[in-house]
Amino acid sequence: MKKVDFDNEFKNPGSEYRSIPFWAWNDELDTDEIRRQIREMKSCGIGGFFIHSRDGLETEYLSDKWFECVSAAVDEAKKNGMFSWLYDEDRWPSGTCGGSITATDKNSCKGLTLEVYFSVPEKIEGNVLALYKTKVYEMEIYSLERIRYAEGLILSDEEALLIARLEVSGKSEWFNNSAPPDNLSFDTVSDFINNTHKKYKKAVGSEFGVTIPGIFTDEPSLADRHASFNPNRSWIPWTEEFEKYFFEKRGYDVLDMIPYFYFNGEKSEKIRHDYWRTVSERFKEAYSVQIGDWCRENNLLFTGHFLQEDKLGLSCRVNGSVMPHYAAEDIQAIDMLTERAEEYITVKQCSSVSNQLGHGIVLSEMYGCTGWDFSFEGQKWVGDWQYALGVNQRCQHLALYSLRGCRKRDYPPSINCNTSWWKEYKTVEDYFARLSYMLRCGEPIRTVLVVHPMTTVWSRLGCSPYGNPKRNQERDIPKLNELGDTFNSLVKNLCNKHYDCDLGDEVIISEYGSCSDDKFVIGKCEYNTVIMPFCENLLSETYTKVMEFMENGGTVLGLAPFPRLIEGEVSEKLSLLINHHNFVKLFSENELINYLDKNVKREVSIIYENDKEEENILYQLRYDGNGYILFLSNNDRESAHEVNIKLDVLENLEQNNLYVYSLNLLTGTLTSCDFKYAKGRVCFDEYMQGCQSSMFYITNKYVECGSRDVQIWNAEDNRIKTEEIPVEYIAYEADTKNILALDMCRYCMDEKWSENIDVWKAQKEIRENLEMRQIYHNGLEQRYRWVNTRHKNDGKDVWLEFEFKSLTGVDDAELVIERSECFKIELDGKIIDNNSVGCFLDKSFKCIQLPKITEGVHKLRLQCNYTNDMELECCYILGDFGVCANREIIKKPESISLGDITGQGYFHYCGGIAYKFKCCLPELPNKEIYLISKDFDGVSSSAVINGREIKIPWKEAGIVAVGKFLHEGENEIVINVYGSPRNMLGPLHITNKPLVTKDSCFCPMGDNYSQDYNVVSVGLMKPPRLIYFKD
């Protein structure tokens, strides 16, 4: 059990506690650039990276050049005390080795298809596995006879012929014109290992377990969305040896009963349960166990996440089940994309297995799809919520190697040195490194177990016999996803009511479950209370162990509907379970919570008025052998909550010698807290601002430190009398040059000019005319496979014309353009030297010196001999000027007001703004002075008082004691607000802010397209305040 070390590890956690982003290798790779970016990551506190092939890659995946770059990355990481993690696929999902091993049928995804005939066909084609004569009506089946031949068969009006075939999925551009993989096949997965993992071992195996801790597998599945079969035939996952494997596991021929899987009949629940159970077992053994074993034999940790973890129906369709796979991993992992905090079961499924098996690290791939304007506060809000539920390792999605062309639209933002707020990022890294460190010390305390209803899903999930629509719209999936939503709501309710819990998967219970007196045990964890929600089906091992638990005095809380099936079959012995005197029948969530409130002790109570639990605040409690670690997260981003914390679990400490310390995760400092101890409880108050987190340590050990300043809680309380020190706004300063985005153009081919259209549309039309593949959206065959192949229409003379207006003269302006060397550049008919004088934001964004821009309308023309590898992108005018809301260049504003800067000359600006204030203090008050600066729109903020900087990465950090920074006389206060590339890179014409920011958002069509330019607000909204409290 790891114990907290405040003096060293908490203050400055090592690389093992710091983030490991998906580093998207997405261009022609260069070893010097790879080394430079690693040093940049190190400078901002990042601990390592996953080497992740992404859209746009132009260095051949797994080529000699690829491994040269991998070796350089590993070497540079080692020099900088960082970790270089591997990722096992070209893009995702894992299993195809960039499509190379699924180019033939042997390793390609396979399905058992069923086709319904109401008359016997003249000829039956394909790999037929079974034939059936049956009576069916719509989705119902009334009789079934398996037959050997269809020749001579005569069907009555009520009868149908069913044909079950083994088929191979069609190919997909996403898999580089190969098929998805057959992940039920041991041989396929073995080929995957041979062609991926072993190649890495040959190249960099000496660093396995040293600089290279492990490898990530990403969304392997059994029913990829790119899999394609005959649209008139329903398909389910299959493999060559599945019939034999099923017989060994279940004791009967799966093909004898498989029509009941598709149709609804008396044997449907049994075959569905047995099929999905067997598929789940086979997938785990063939894929996760095989890869995990290889990794451990070769000194690698196996990690990764599985598909559709949050949706019970879809999760079953594509995995069989998820939680058993986690048991085969060394580090359990999830993905949690977008700016949301809703998927409780996604986190809990993963963190529960980690807790039960004692693995210790739970990784989350987070922040993808949130958009270029995603703030540090957004990172904190999403991160704190997940950490409270059990995550303790961040993997940011994504750190883009390059922003050139399509790459800038790959689910932004980029959390790398090619973004405008990069130099501020170390503050976020230090915060989460300390949080990760604390939440890996000790072990979590959870005494409530919730049985996961996945085997019930097994018994319900079939599919229509008349063809599969889009995966998430298959016949049974929507209702089972609704069950998942209900289950998620229950887990959320338990957590919000402060009954922290683990989930118990029945397969894991069968392998690791037992009873110890009146405790239900899974692996290393003991539970006092078992909740069994919506579990209509149980495995026989679950039934046996739950009965033993109740016989030993344990209580099981059943939430209707109650169990009626054991392994898919109605069982009378379940009446012994549900009628047991220790089985409590409950019929709603409210009934369950009321029962818990009356009968189950909370380890932690977080209450507000009238002793009500404050549901906005989540907690995690741990014990490290010396004390209790308590982490609190206010999931309410807008409102503050004043609460009283009560801890009941203190039997490991001496009651008359207690200390409570508050840990500042931003600064790495400790302060002592006032508390009360009575009736075995430690109680203390906490004021939590919107999106605030708090960390406490309760121990018998004395740590020398100052007392916590709780007066700061009153800084915004209008009921408390304060004195305000006048602050005067005097000036502003932009920290980088301004920018005008040129995203509309005309193009010319064969001396014909187009209308003025979006640049992406111009490229689309140009490539249509040249019969070249389209590249305005991502998700196509990887560029390294075709970009260096000459096209028959390469070299076509193409012109682009951009028009902009300037209302003032501008010296030293620059043009920002990608691949400047490919263009002849003209401004108002004069040729411009296309040699780069630098770069802006990204190494691929080249700066070209422009002559003086005069007042008037200007035409910028770009001429190229267009080739298949080219990507036409927006370009930008860069300089010391203003850009008004009409997108005209104006004189640089001498002053701006507080508020949104986009309407004050900084329409597309992506940098930071420094707001300068002064205040005069004839004498310093004999009291602490507090700065309040929370009202800003931007990614982050900071304050500089007389040259001393205070980081304000999120609004909650914007109340801080600053008396030691002030002096008598005139004081200078600078408030910095850091913007993002959002108003430069877009999406600029999408109607509404999307939940998922992806490539299609940057080329919206129809109702999603707006001719207006939609930018986001940036700026300091209100002036900072300096206050102190009156007597």
Share of the chain above pLDDT 70, in %: 100
Q: Within a 13 Å sphere around the CA of 810, how many CA atoms are in the beta-carbon half? A: 30
Closest CA to 393 of 45, 19, 87, 44: 19
Q: Is the pLDDT of residue 211 over 90?
A: yes
Q: Is the pLDDT of residue 788 over 80?
A: yes
Per-residue confidence at 63, pLDDT binned at 50, 70, 90? very high
How many CB atoms are closer than 10 A to CB 544? 14
Q: What does the mean pLDDT of the chain come to? A: 97
Per-residue confidence at 610, pLDDT binned at 50, 70, 90? confident
Residue in this structure with the two tokens 């990530």, named with its chain if needed: 216
Q: Is the pLDDT of residue 718 over 90?
A: no
Q: Is the pLDDT of residue 719 over 80?
A: no
The rounded distance, in Å, linking the Cα atoms of 60 and 70 is 12
Q: What is the pTM of this model?
A: 0.97
Tell me the three-class secondary structure of 308-355, residue by residue: CCCCHHHHHHHHCCCHHHHCCCCEEEEEECCCCCCCHHHHHHHHHHHH
Per-residue confidence at 650, pLDDT binned at 50, 70, 90? confident
Per-residue confidence at 679, pLDDT binned at 50, 70, 90? confident
Query: What is the CATH topology of the domain spanning 738-889?
Result: Jelly Rolls (2.60.120)
Q: Which residue has the higher pLDDT, 278 or 710?
A: 278
- Is residue 888 within 8 A of residue 857, CB to CB? The reply is no
Q: Is the pLDDT of residue 712 over 90?
A: no
Residue range 725-731+910-1029, CATH number: 2.60.120
What per-residue confidence (pLDDT) applies to 69? 98
Mean pLDDT of 812-832: 98
Residue range 604-708, CATH number: 2.60.40.1180
What per-residue confidence (pLDDT) applies to 780? 93
Write down the number of H helices and E strands in the chain. 21, 62
- Is residue 22 within 8 A of residue 87, CB to CB? The reply is yes
What per-residue confidence (pLDDT) applies to 714? 82
The token pair at 466 is: 């008349």
* Least reliable range by pLDDT among 72-81, 197-206, 468-477: 468-477
Q: Is the pLDDT of residue 167 over 80?
A: yes
- Are the folds of 725-731+910-1029 and 738-889 the same? yes
The token pair at 853 is: 């821009």
Q: What 3-state DSSP class applies to 184?
A: coil
Per-residue confidence at 1, pLDDT binned at 50, 70, 90? confident
Is 445 buried (19+), middle (13-18) or exposed (0-12) by CB count in 10 A? Answer: middle
pLDDT digits (tens, 9 = 90+) for 362-420: 999 999 999 999 999 999 999 999 999 999 999 999 999 999 999 999 999 999 999 99
The rounded distance, in Å, linking the Cα atoms of 890 and 884 is 7
- Annotated domain spans of the chain: 6-103+182-226+300-444, 110-168, 604-708, 725-731+910-1029, 738-889
The DSSP 8-state label assigned to residue 51 in this structure reads E
For residue 322, how far is the Cα from the chain centroid? 17
Q: Is the pLDDT of residue 649 over 80?
A: no
pLDDT digits (tens, 9 = 90+) for 536-591: 999 999 999 999 999 999 999 999 999 999 999 999 999 999 999 999 999 999 99
Q: Is the pLDDT of residue 1031 over 80?
A: no
pLDDT digits (tens, 9 = 90+) for 725-759: 999 999 999 999 999 999 999 999 999 999 999 99
The token pair at 505 is: 């998967």
DSSP for 851-909, written as a single string = PPBPSEEEEEEEEEEE-TT-----EEEEESSEE-TTS-EEPPPS---SS-GGGTTBSS-
pLDDT digits (tens, 9 = 90+) for 659-676: 999 999 999 999 999 999
Asked if the peptide bond before residue 398 counts as cis, ω within 30 degrees of 0, the response is yes
Q: Is the pLDDT of residue 497 over 80?
A: yes
The rounded distance, in Å, linking the Cα atoms of 852 and 879 is 11
The rounded distance, in Å, linking the Cα atoms of 622 and 14 is 21
Its CATH architecture, for the domain 6-103+182-226+300-444, is Alpha-Beta Barrel (3.20)
Q: Is the pLDDT of residue 78 over 80?
A: yes
What per-residue confidence (pLDDT) applies to 468? 83
What per-residue confidence (pLDDT) applies to 680? 82
The rounded distance, in Å, linking the Cα atoms of 825 and 835 is 10
What per-residue confidence (pLDDT) applies to 511? 97
